[in-house]
């Protein structure tokens, strides 16, 4: 039996950020990780001389977002971020920059002019209703979409839903696309993503971490205060012993007493670790839908993707997001080769072998010359978001029915996506644990 101030279960980005903040606030932290590595789906590793990430990533809201706030408050070493560049849209083998501004949208020739005008009208109607206090959390994107738009336009918007929400246009709530960027109550509600998509000058606050995602993990580890954090890998948690509060955490190797537990695994797995959770709480967790993706990493002997930025493939089946990471950091590939990640959305149930073959075929069909330049192929089946932000889908929360048990991660906070959704959840957790009086500094 070993005593700790806080036990963090899981060493994904949410768990590591929580451990860093708590340790810098004076707490003694023990991290328990079932795998042999740290970082979860936010890390990098080597494949045949290439440095691949766990799926392509763009780190967003770097100017004022939650990760920036956590870095300012707790990092002693900060990763270097390279500007992410433009987003390009590929439709019918024609590639154009994503239409961020009104002028760009009105001249965006990949979508019919009639559709563009209809969507502009729908946009302003939506913003008007938002500012009037309309609740969009239970209204789907398809409900406000003009009925007469073309299939190309519908697929373009469906792509946005899958990659921003994790579900289709028929299940994606409008609230996700008008996600308010700020924490301030005085800010105008819902002026966020739709505003960004059509009224601003582009993704100016996004970046790619030099050295890959691993550089973020390495910066967190290097920022841990001396002798405040212990990390035990290869130690899966079997039970969390509770009464009205957590009493201990039991693993295959040991049993640990603690004052507080931060759980960063799948919220839907909590009923497997804790007995006698309330039935309504369990019921909500069972309706959480995890987002599944396939990434194919290709090492290429030739620079096939020359544009500085990523590509949105609207015609592909399944939909794809293409990120040539060596355009940001050439050191990720050997000998001047190009490393490109192709991220595909996946249905709930799929045949792994068949979807890999189909996705690879989509790449070759879209870029016919690419196959003769392939030097390395690497497949990753991932869960980039632990909960899709969809209508009638469950979602966890930072608070739990157990007084000193908190959850963090992308299934606990409905803001942003990826690393930033994790960071938002950690910011919310820190606010809550402080208000609960469970974050008093210790010497």
Task: Output the pLDDT for position 141.
Answer: 83
Q: Report the DSSP pairing between strands 44-47 and 50-53.
A: antiparallel
pLDDT tens-digit profile of 243-278? 888 999 999 999 999 999 999 999 999 999 999 999
Q: Which residues of 3-16 are buried (b: 16+ CB within 10 A; e: fewer)?
A: ebbbbbbbbbbbbb
Residue written as token pair 């020359």: 306
For 295-342, give the DSSP string. Answer: EEEEEESS----SSEEEEESSSSS-EEEEEGGGT-GGGSGGG-EEEEE
Which candidate, 298, 367, 348, places its Cα nearest to that of 326?
A: 298
Task: Output the pLDDT for position 183.
Answer: 40
Q: What is the mean pLDDT of residues 44-72?
A: 96
Q: How far apart are CA 113 and CA 379, in angstroms?
A: 39
Tokens of 44: 């990098």
pLDDT tens-digit profile of 333-392? 999 999 999 999 887 788 999 999 999 999 999 999 999 999 999 999 999 999 998 888
Mean pLDDT is lowest, of 155-164, 298-307, 423-432, 434-443, for 434-443
Q: What is the mean pLDDT of residues 314-333?
A: 96
Q: Does the pLDDT of residue 299 top 50, yes or no?
A: yes
Q: What is the mean pLDDT of residues 295-316?
A: 96
Q: Does the pLDDT of residue 327 top 80, yes or no?
A: yes
What are the Cα distances from residue 167, in Å, to 26, 46, 80? 40, 31, 32
Q: How far apart are CA 341 and CA 325, in angstroms?
A: 7
pTM of the complete model: 0.92
DSSP code, position 332 = G
Q: What is the mean pLDDT of residues 73-91?
A: 96
Tokens of 281: 């709480």
In contact, 210 and 80? CB cutoff 8 Å: yes
Number of helices (H), then strands (E), belonging to the chain: the values are: 13, 18
pLDDT tens-digit profile of 182-197? 444 333 333 344 444 4
Task: Output the pLDDT for position 144.
Answer: 85
In contact, 391 and 247? CB cutoff 8 Å: no
Longest dimension (CA), the chain: 68
Q: What is the mean pLDDT of residues 301-327?
A: 96
For the chain, helix, strand, coil in percent to 5 are 35, 25, 40
Task: Output the pLDDT for position 179.
Answer: 53
pLDDT tens-digit profile of 171-225? 988 877 665 444 443 333 333 444 444 445 566 789 999 999 999 999 999 999 9
pLDDT tens-digit profile of 111-148? 999 999 998 888 777 777 766 677 777 888 888 888 88
Higher-confidence position of 186 and 412? 412
Q: What is the mean pLDDT of residues 422-432?
A: 97
Task: Output the pLDDT for position 391.
Answer: 87
Q: Does the pLDDT of residue 318 top 70, yes or no?
A: yes
Distant-in-sequence, close-in-space partners of 386: CB < 8 Å, separation ≥ 6: 266, 267, 288, 290, 291, 409, 410, 411
Q: How far apart are CA 309 and CA 327, in angstroms?
A: 8
Q: How far apart are CA 19 and CA 402, in angstroms?
A: 20
Task: Output the pLDDT for position 206.
Answer: 94
In contact, 325 and 340? CB cutoff 8 Å: yes
Q: How far apart are CA 67 and CA 425, in angstroms?
A: 10
Rounded to the nearest angstrom, the gap between the alpha carbon of residue 55 and the centroid of all alpha carbons in its chain is: 10
Rounded to the nearest angstrom, the gap between the alpha carbon of residue 284 and the centroid of all alpha carbons in its chain is: 21
Q: Report the DSSP pairing between strands 229-232 and 29-32.
A: parallel
Which candidate, 427, 171, 132, places its Cα nearest to that of 291?
A: 171
Q: How far apart are CA 29 and CA 26, in angstroms?
A: 9
In contact, 88 and 203? CB cutoff 8 Å: no
Q: How far apart are CA 384 and CA 410, in angstroms?
A: 9
Q: How far apart are CA 286 and CA 279, in angstroms?
A: 11
Task: Output the pLDDT for position 193.
Answer: 45
């Amino acid at each position: 039996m070993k005593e700790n101030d806080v036990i963090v279960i899981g060493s994904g980005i949410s768990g590591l950020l929580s451990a860093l903040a708590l340790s810098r606030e004076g707490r003694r932290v023990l991290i328990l990780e079932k795998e042999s590595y740290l970082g979860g789906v936010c890390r990098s590793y080597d494949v045949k001389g290439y440095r691949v990430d766990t799926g392509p990533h763009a780190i967003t809201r770097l100017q004022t977002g939650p990760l920036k706030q956590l870095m300012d408050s707790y990092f002693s070493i900060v990763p270097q971020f390279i500007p992410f560049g433009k987003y390009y849209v590929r439709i019918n083998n024609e590639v154009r920059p994503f239409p961020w501004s009104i002028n760009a949208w009105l001249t965006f020739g990949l979508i019919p002019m009639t559709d563009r005008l209809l969507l502009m009208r729908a946009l302003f109607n939506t913003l008007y209703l938002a500012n009037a206090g309309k609740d969009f959390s239970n209204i789907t994107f398809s409900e406000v979409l003009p009925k007469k738009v073309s299939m190309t336009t519908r697929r373009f918007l469906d792509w946005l839903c899958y990659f921003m929400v994790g579900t289709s246009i028929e299940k994606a709530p409008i609230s996700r696309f008008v996600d308010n960027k700020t924490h301030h109550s005085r800010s105008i509600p819902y002026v966020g993503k739709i505003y960004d998509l059509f009224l601003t000058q582009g993704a100016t606050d996004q970046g790619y971490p030099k050295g890959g995602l691993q550089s973020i993990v390495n910066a967190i580890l290097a920022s841990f205060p001396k002798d405040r954090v212990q990390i035990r890998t290869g130690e899966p948690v079997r039970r969390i012993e509770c009464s009205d509060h957590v009493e201990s955490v039991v693993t295959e190797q040991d049993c640990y007493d603690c004052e507080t537990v931060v759980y960063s695994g799948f919220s839907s797995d909590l009923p497997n670790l804790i007995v006698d959770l309330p039935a309504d709480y369990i019921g909500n967790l069972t309706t959480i839908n995890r987002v599944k993706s396939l990434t194919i990493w290709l090492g290429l002997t030739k620079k096939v993707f020359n544009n500085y930025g990523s590509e949105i493939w609207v015609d592909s089946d399944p939909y794809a997001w293409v990120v040539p990471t060596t355009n940001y950091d050439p050191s990720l590939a050997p000998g001047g080769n190009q490393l490109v990640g192709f991220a595909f959305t996946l249905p709930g149930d799929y045949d792994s072998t068949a979807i890999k073959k189909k996705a690879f075929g989509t790449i070759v069909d879209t870029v016919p010359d690419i196959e003769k330049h392939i030097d390395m192929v690497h497949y990753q089946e991932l869960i980039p978001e632990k909960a899709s932000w969809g209508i009638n889908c469950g979602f966890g929360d930072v608070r739990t029915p157990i007084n000193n048990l908190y959850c963090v991660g992308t299934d606990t906070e409905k803001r942003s996506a990826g690393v930033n959704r994790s960071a938002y959840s950690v910011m919310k957790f820190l606010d809550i644990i402080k208000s609960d009086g469970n974050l008093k500094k210790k010497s």
